[in-house]
Amino acid sequence: MTTHVSSNNWISEVFSFPHPVNENAARMVAGMVVIMTTSIIVFQIPELMFVLGYGFLARVATGPTLSPMGLLATRVLVPLLGIKVRPTAGPPKRFAQAVGLGFSATALLLYYVFGLSTAAYAVLGGLVFFAALESIVGFCTGCFVFGYLMRWGVIPQEICEKCNNLNLGQPSDSEL
């Protein structure tokens, strides 16, 4: 028996962000961002800024689904290394990926549109710093800012409720 999946359903599945997210996989992706971005700066490989930018764009749009780093972390490294799944809220992580996309896009514009290579590499240096904080220490600056935006009412209350709802596959009260 063949199951028919409508194209709209497939598109909405691909272009969705997971909730919850595996914190350990997110930290691995941040580590890969540190390695790639440091390589761009140290070895002067500005072309890799396009790859870096694509990765952030893919993660904002689809989580790990279309992101090579996301797929490597979630489908290969976490299972291969037997790393425990540590759930955390998805919306702040998506926001953090959007901030990374902003850093990447800014660096691309500075380098390729305005010819300001030193400024582009400085922006990438900031990205290395924040990605290293998440990867090494486990502090997600984008998630921290997201929390303040929720407190200040910039981010809608429904998102805040979703962040607090990590039932992790357990039946909800309405399903009991």
How does pLDDT run across 106-130, given as a tens digit for each residue?
A: 999 999 999 999 999 999 999 999 9
- pLDDT(152) > 80: yes
Q: What percent of the chain has pLDDT over 90?
A: 77
Please tell me which residue, 155 or 135, carries the higher pLDDT value. 135
Between 20-34, 55-69, 101-115, 151-165, the lowest mean confidence (pLDDT) is in 151-165
Look at the block and give the residue holding tokens 């992101």: 67
pLDDT of residue 176: 33
Mean pLDDT of 73-97: 95
Burial class (CB in 10 A: 0-12, 13-18, 19+), 28: buried
pLDDT of residue 51: 98
pLDDT of residue 19: 87
- pLDDT(174) > 50: no
**Nearest 5°: phi and psi at 44?**
50, 60
Peptide bond into 156 cis (omega under 30): no
Using 50, 70 and 90 to split pLDDT, how confident is the model at 175?
Answer: very low
Please tell me which residue, 81 or 158, carries the higher pLDDT value. 81
Both tokens of residue 133?
A: 């904080």
Both tokens of residue 119?
A: 């400024």
Using 50, 70 and 90 to split pLDDT, how confident is the model at 35?
Answer: very high
